[in-house]
Every structure is written in structure tokens, then in C-alpha cells.
Structure 1
Amino acid sequence: MRRRRGRDGRPWLTAVQFEAGERLRETYERAGLGVKITVDLAALPSASGGRHGGRGLLPQEHQLDARRAVRAAVDAVGPGLADILIRVCCHLEGLDEAERGLGWPARSGKLVLALGLDRLAIHYGMIAPPARDAELAC
């Protein structure tokens, strides 16, 4: 998806949107919520004989932290936008497949995905939230 371009020739996902989606996917995988394809090296004994990764946490604690981080991200984005993010970023579904799975019209997911990735980037502190000038004028 990162390579897709709009009619104007520019990528339709910004670098920040892509990075936010990648961060969610990586956290989702660390949380053990996705399909495991590789070995969890943190669970293997270390050279010092311990069975835990960095920061002195056990693998289960790392997994629990990652699950909390995924939950916080999903909550920050909101249920309508989180659905497409989970399908596309975490389950690696194509946009067409995700739209069908959600019962959405064709080509509707592109805009919703971009909005969700923007909110995710705000949650991660990658971009500043938009100014709320309209609310301040009241």
C-alpha cells in the first residue's frame, strides 16, 4: 500500500501514516494477537541463564504491555476507524478484502484508513493534533 499513488502521482499514504501503521502491527505481533510465524527469541534462555528479554521483564510481561498498548491505540482511534486498521495493518488484509469483510462499499476504505492512520499517528505523538479553532470561537 505504501507504493500506491494517487491521481496526482503522490503516494496516498504519507511516511508518518505508514510508520504509525507499522508501529501498530509490530505491537500487535508482540502482544501475541497475530499468527506467529517466527520464534520468540525473548523466550529463549539468555547467555546469563535468565529467560527474559530487556528491561528485566518476563516474556509474558512484555506481551501484556504490548496488549495494553494495542488496546490504548484502538481506544484512541475509535471503533469505526480501528476496524479497518486492525484488518489492514495487523491482519495484513488488502484494502478490497477489508472493505468486503466490513460490508463497506468498494473504494470507501481508502479514506477511512487514512483518517485512522492520522489518529494513530496523533496517539503515538508522531504528529500534533489539529487545532480546534472552531470550538474556541464559541
Structure 2
Amino acid sequence: MASHVQQMIEDPDGVRQAVLVHMGESPLAWLRARGRLSERHFIAGDMLRNDWERAGLGARVTMRWDAAARDGGRRGPARPADPTLAQMAARERFNGAIRAAGPGMADILWRVACAGEGLAAAEKALCWPSRAGKLVLTLALDRVADWYRVP
């Protein structure tokens, strides 16, 4: 049986949301493997997810060492981590792709491509009718593919 876990993840607007994630296979890979998503759309979604992760927008699953002892063992206030140029560039690409997807499409796009939530779970969470998510996701991925210039 498939392993699903509920995770709290920040959406593109910084709001923490609970999503149901399948741990064995990404929803985009599942849709592509069953002929329900084109290779172009899969690549665009994967590029979006990679930028989301590179930008540091995903859930942190590692220990943070901000409060570690500094300067001869004294503990000072935690300094915010400076984003790297790569993180800032990834965040700009991610935000540009989300804007390119258009109003009303970012929720399903983010939930499925970035957070790894299954399509049916995303539709339910958004209170959408069954199968509406696939249509909106496909439209959003088409726009994102254009934005990323995926052939």
C-alpha cells in the first residue's frame, strides 16, 4: 500500500498549509507515467519544483545550527542566514513562473508540483469538483513551460 503522510508546508504566499504527500512517487511523475501529462508539462513542473527547493521555500527537514556557539564559545543572537545568489535567482524564477501561470492557478500548481500533494487531495483541499484540478494544472503547466521556454 502507498505511504502517505501529512506535512505542513509554506505556500507561495508564505501561508503554512497541510498537504497529503505520497512518499513513493511525485504526483507529476505518476500523471506522466499514466499518459495523463505530457513530457513538456512534466519538465516544466519539475523545473518549478527545483526552483522552489533551491530558493529554500520548501519545508526544512534538517537541523538548523543558527544558535550554535560563536566567537570563543559565546552564544549571540541568531543571525538570519543570508540567501545566496543561487537562492535569490531560484526565487526570482519561481515567482516569475507562478506569475506566468496566472491568477487562480498557483494553488493547484504549487500543491501538486512543489508540495507533492496528489491531484485528488489537492482538489479536495481546494473544494474543487473532481477532475477540475487536472484541467487547471495542465493549463498552468503549459504557461509555466512557456515561461521556462521548454520546447
* TM-score normalised over the length of structure 1: 0.68
Cα displacement string for residues 18-77 of structure 1 (whole angstroms, at most 9, x for unaligned residues): 0100000000000111123479xxxxxxxxxxxxxxxxxx86221111111111111111
Higher-RCO chain (CA-CA 8 Å, sequence separation at least 6): 2
**In the alignment, does 2:131 pair up with 1:102?**
no
Distance 2:118 2:109 in 1: 11
Deviation at 1:4, TM superposition (A): 4.0
Deviations along 1:65-120, one digit per CA (max 9) or x if unpaired, are: 11111111111111212211100000000001111121111221011111111111
Gaps of 5+ in 1: 40-57, 128-138
* Matches of 2:46 and 2:62, distance apart in 1: 17
Find the residue that maps to 2:93 and give its secondary structure: helix
Instruction: Confirm or deny that 1:120 pairs with 2:151.
Output: no
Question: Which has the larger strand fraction?
Answer: 2
The structure with the greater share of residues assigned to helix is: 1
Question: For 2:52, which of 28, 44, 55 is the aligned residue?
Answer: 28
Question: Match for residue 65 of structure 1?
Answer: 89
SS in 2 for 1:79: coil
Match of 2:111 in 1: 87
Using structure 2 for the length normalisation, give the TM-score.
0.63
- Matched residues in 2 for 1:67 and 1:3: separation? 26
Q: Distance in 2 between matches of 1:111 and 1:21?
A: 15
- Pairs aligned (count): 106
Alpha carbon RMSD of aligned pairs, Å?
Answer: 2.2
Runs of 4+ in 1 over 4 A off after TM superposition: none
* Cα distance between partner residues in 1 of 2:48 and 2:62: 18
